[in-house]
Structure 1
Amino acid sequence: MNAKVCRRFPLTSLLAGSAMLLLSACAGQQNCDPSQTELFTSMACMSNGGYQRRAAALQTESQSSQEVALLEREKAIKAERAAQVAQNKANSTAVSTRAQMATLRANVRASQNQMAQLKKSRAQLLQQKAALSAQLQQAQQQLATAKADPSSTAAEIDRINRKIATLEAQQQTNISDIAQSGG
């Protein structure tokens, strides 16, 4: 109720209790919660727009809450996207690292195989060197024997000298091959 209506009622004709209720209703009750008001308070809230102000305040509060919830949802979506981007980057890095590791392992295996082959070649070259040294020593002994034997011909001595020269050339090649193989 507004102030004009309150002035029309004579206060003296009303009972003391009714006057208090009417005065409290006319004074403009600030609490216009329908679940918390009485008859005169309710009438005052309807006439002075208290219910409409309460409804508008609740509407504004609801909209604010919805806006905050929407902002929080957008933040959560952005955080989720950022986490997904980071996860994708980590996955990509892991895949790249695995590929590099596989390549390095393959290179190590190839190097190990090459090393084993070189060791095998070196062992064969050392065996050849020992065989050539033995053949050279035998040819040198044959030459010494042929020179000491008066029945040896010049052609026989010449043949042994060529054999020694061939064995010495083979031995030099063998020594060079051994040096190139790392030993």
Structure 2
Amino acid sequence: MFTLQVLAAGSPAASVPLWPTLLAGAAAGAIITSLVTLLAGALEARREHRRWLREKRLDAYLRAFALTKGFDLNSSKTGKVVASLIAEAVAEGPEDLDAKAAFERLRQDPDYRALDEQASELQATAARELAAVVLLGPQEVAVAVLEMQKSYEAGDDERAGRAEQDFRDAAQRVLRVPRPRRRRR
């Protein structure tokens, strides 16, 4: 057995067993190693969760933004189809203009019908796509996307433009997207 001889001033050499000291050192090392391992695991889990959340937010924000662009495109195309049908009706002669007949003609137009169906699909998709943004947050982005939805539903183009910019800015801040710096002149 290993022993440590201790010499004290003016006393004979005393033997102290070394194994308790070695055992205490090994236990302390094991405890420290375990704590460091647990801490590293917790930090890695936190980092992984942040990465997962960022990816989910990016996907949700992209889908919400794409949805608004879909509404913009659909609205623009619908306006062109309506303008074309009005131009045709006016060309046929003002005496033939009948609001009921014009509306029925519009409803029967295949391009208009396709765009109307697409708009209905976009509206049905909106709740699902925007819900992901609201749930994943943070509140700043959720408020911005809901304001964007309200402004589109109200048909207020100026308000919708501001709301869209607010949504983009909030999403970029949350995702930490670097923005180009403006040059000073």
TM-score (norm 2): 0.46
Which of the two has greater strand per residue? Answer: 2
Greater Cα radius of gyration, structure 1 or 2: 1
TM-score (norm 1): 0.46
Higher relative contact order (CA 8 A, sep 6+): 2
